[in-house]
A and B are shown apart, each in its own frame.
Chain A
C-alpha cells in the first residue's frame, strides 16, 4: 500500500470508504468503481492497465 510499481504505471492507495460497503471489497481504478473484487478481477484490472 502507498507504493508505486517499478514501471510507474500503478500506484496503490488505501481508502477507508468508497460508499460501496454493501458490495465490498471495492476499488476506484482511474475513476472507475469496481466492486466484489477477487483475485480474478484484480488480474483483469492489471491486464487493462498493461494494455
Chain B
C-alpha cells in the first residue's frame, strides 16, 4: 500500500485538500493527514512516501491521483523541505508542523517531543524561569514583553492557586501562525504550557481559542485528552471565544473566561498578581509558549544565538494579502522587510508593484517600499512609528486606496471597541466621520476642498493623539498607527497633493 501525506490544516482544506485525500483513499492509499508546511501556493500538497524519502506534488487536484502515484504529474516538487522557501527558514517552533500527524503521540515523541518538559522537570522551577529569561524570549502576541520576567513575577506571587492562560484569540487580520501551530503540532503548545505550569507553580491551564478556528478547537481538545497522563498533574482545558476582537487583549480575555462580557480591565493590578479569578496568572500567546520546549530542550543559548539587537530567537512571520508566496516563514529576527516581501514572498500575486505593506495586523502601520530596509525587530519598528505585533505582513499593490485603508482601520476600531474607555469608543466613530469627509472632499471638484481636507486632517491627527495616549488598551491606542502612517506615507491619497489629483482627473 502506498502511503501519502496530505495536510488537514484549515487553509489546505479551504483549498480542496479533503477532496484530494478522499481521492487517494479511493485509490487504495494510506493517507496521513498532517498540518500545513506553510506555503499555500503549492496547496493542496501531496507528499508520497518513497524509499528515498517523501516526494512532494502541488498543487494537486482529485483528478491527479494516478499521475502523482506514477510520478509523472507536472507539479512534482521533489523534497519539499529542500525548496528554497523552506530550506532558508530557521524552524525552531514549527519544526514538526506539516511533517507529522498532529495527534500522534508516537510521532511527537519520535521528533523530539517532550524533551523540553523532561529537561524542565529535572531543574528547580526558578531555574526553568532563568532559562526562559536567558533565551531572551519576548511576548509573541505583539507587546514584546520579556516572557521570563512575566513568569518570575508569577513564581514570586504568593498563593496556593495559580493559572496558565494561553491567548489563542488570534484576531489580527493577516495572521495565522497560532492556528497553524495548534492544528499542526498541538502537543508542542501543550508541552510549553506544562513547562510554564511547572515553572511558576500553576496546576491548571486554559487555551482560549477564537470561535472562527473550529479546526484548532477540535485538534486541541483531542490533543489535551491524549496527552493528559504525560503532563499530569498539570491539567488543561479549551475555552472558545465568541467572535470578539478585543478578547485578544489579555485582561478582556480573562473576563471572558470568567464568564463575563469581554471588557478590558484597568492595569495595575497586573494579571501576574491579580489575574484569572483574582489569582496570579501567566498569560502568554501561543507562539511564546510554543517556543519554550525548544528553549528547554536545546538550551537558552541556542535560542538566543539567533536574532537581532534585543529581539532574540526566531519569529514565525506570516506573509499574507497580495503576495505570491503567501504562508508561514519562521526566521531569526533581523531579516529586512524588503527581503520578506520581495525575495521570500516573491512580490505581489497580481504581478503589479508593491505600494504598501501593513505589518502587525489591523493595528499595525502601513509602510511604503522606501521603508523596506527596516530589520524585523521590535525596537526598529517602534522607532519607525510601527510595530511588528504578531508578525503578520499584509501586502497591497499599486491599486490600493490608502484613504480607504485608513477608514477601514478606524472603522474596525469602532466595530470592535469594548466601549469601556471614551477615546476608543467615541473617538473611533468620530474618526470614521473625519476620514469620510476627507474622502468626500478629495473626490469632489469643489474649489474649497483643499481647505476642508487641511482642516479635517488636522482634527484627525489630533484625535489620533488622544486615542494613542488616552485609550485603556492597544485597540484604541494602536489604531492611530495605520491611520497616521497612511497619512504620512501616502498623503496623495488624502488629496494633499493637488497635482497628482489633477492628473488623475484628466
For residue A15, give the distance in angstroms from its CB to the closest CB of chain B: 6
Q: Is the CB of B173 within 8 A of A17?
A: yes
CA distance A18 to B170 in the complex (A): 9
The contact of A22 among B172, B326, B416, by CB within 8 Å, is B326
CB distance from B281 to the nearest CB of A (A): 25
Interface residue ranges of B131-179 to A (CB < 8 Å): 170-176, 178-179
Residues of A contacting B178 with CB < 8 Å? 19
Complex: A35 Cα to B170 Cα, angstroms: 19
Task: Tell me if B321 counts as interface (CB < 8 A to partner A).
Answer: yes
Query: Are A16 and B327 neighbours in the complex by a CB distance under 8 Å?
Result: no
B171 touches A22 (CB 8 A): no
B74 within 8 A of A: no
Assuming the contacts A15-B212, A28-B212, A31-B214, asked whether A20 and B11 have C-beta atoms less than 8 A apart, the reply is: yes
A21-B176 CB under 8 A given contacts A16-B171, A31-B214: yes
CB distance from B1 to the nearest CB of A (A): 29
Q: Which of B14, B40, B243, B320 has the most CB of A within 10 A?
A: B14
- Whether B14 and A34, one on each chain, are in contact in the complex, defined by CB atoms closer than 8 angstroms, is yes
Chain B contact residues: over half helix, strand or loop, or mixed? mixed
Roughly how many angstroms separate A22 CA and B43 CA in the complex, as a whole number? 12
Q: Which B30-78 residues sit within 8 Å CB-CB of chain A?
A: 40, 43
> A15's closest neighbor in chain B, by CB?
B212
In the bound complex, how far is the Cα of B173 from the Cα of A19, in angstroms?
7
B327 contacts across to A, CB distance below 8 A = 22
Q: Give Cα distance in the complex from A42 to B383, angstroms.
A: 44
Residues of B within 8 A of A33 (CB): 10-11, 13-14, 215
Number of A-B contacts (CB under 8 A): 73
Q: Cβ of A31: which chain B residues have Cβ within 8 Å of it?
A: 214
Q: Answer yes or no: B478 CB below 8 A from chain A CBs.
A: no
Q: Does B318 contact A (CB under 8 A)?
A: yes
Closest to A27 in B: B14
Residues of A within 8 Å of B172, CB to CB, are 17
Is B213 an interface position by the 8 A CB rule? yes
Total A residues in contact with B, Cβ cutoff 8 Å: 18
Q: B40 contacts A22, CB within 8 Å?
A: yes
Q: Give Cα A3–Cα B392 distance, bound, in whole angstroms.
A: 31
Bound together, the chains give a CA A28 to CA B179 distance in angstroms of 15
The contact size tier of chain B is 20 to 34
With both chains docked as a complex, state the minimum distance between the C-beta of B186 and any C-beta of chain A, in angstroms: 15
Question: Is B405 in the interface zone, CB < 8 Å from A?
Answer: no
Of B14, B214, B319, the residue contacting A26 (CB under 8 A) is B14
Interface string of B209-241 (1 = CB under 8 A from A): 000111100000000000000000000000000
Question: Digit string of B176-215 for contact with A (CB within 8 Å is 1, else 0)?
Answer: 1011000000000000000000000000000000001111
**Beta-carbon contact of B213 and A19 below 8 Å:** yes
Return the chain B residue nearest A16 by Cβ.
B173
In the complex, residue of chain A having the shortest beta-carbon distance to the beta carbon of B179: A19
Chain B residues, CB < 8 A from A15: 212, 243
Chain B's closest residue to A32 (CB) is: B13
Nearest-neighbour CB distance to chain B for A27, whole angstroms, equals: 9
Query: CB of B308 within 8 A of chain A?
Result: no
User: Beyond A19-B179, A19-B212, is A35–B14 a contact (Cβ under 8 Å)?
Assistant: yes
Residues of A within 8 A of B173 (CB): 16-17, 21
For the complex, is B323 an interface residue (Cβ under 8 Å from A)?
yes
Judged by a CB distance under 8 angstroms, whether B381 is at the interface is no
Show 20 residue pairs from A and B whose CB-CB distance is below 8 angstroms, ordered by the A residue: A16-B173, A16-B245, A16-B412, A16-B416, A17-B172, A17-B174, A18-B10, A19-B176, A20-B10, A21-B174, A21-B176, A21-B318, A21-B320, A21-B394, A22-B40, A23-B14, A23-B15, A26-B14, A28-B214, A33-B14
Binding site for B on A (CB under 8 A): 15-24, 26, 28, 31-36
Sample of 16 further A-B pairs with CB below 8 A, known A22-B327, A23-B11, A36-B15:
A16-B173, A16-B416, A17-B172, A17-B212, A19-B213, A20-B10, A21-B318, A22-B11, A22-B326, A23-B40, A23-B43, A24-B321, A28-B214, A31-B214, A32-B13, A33-B14
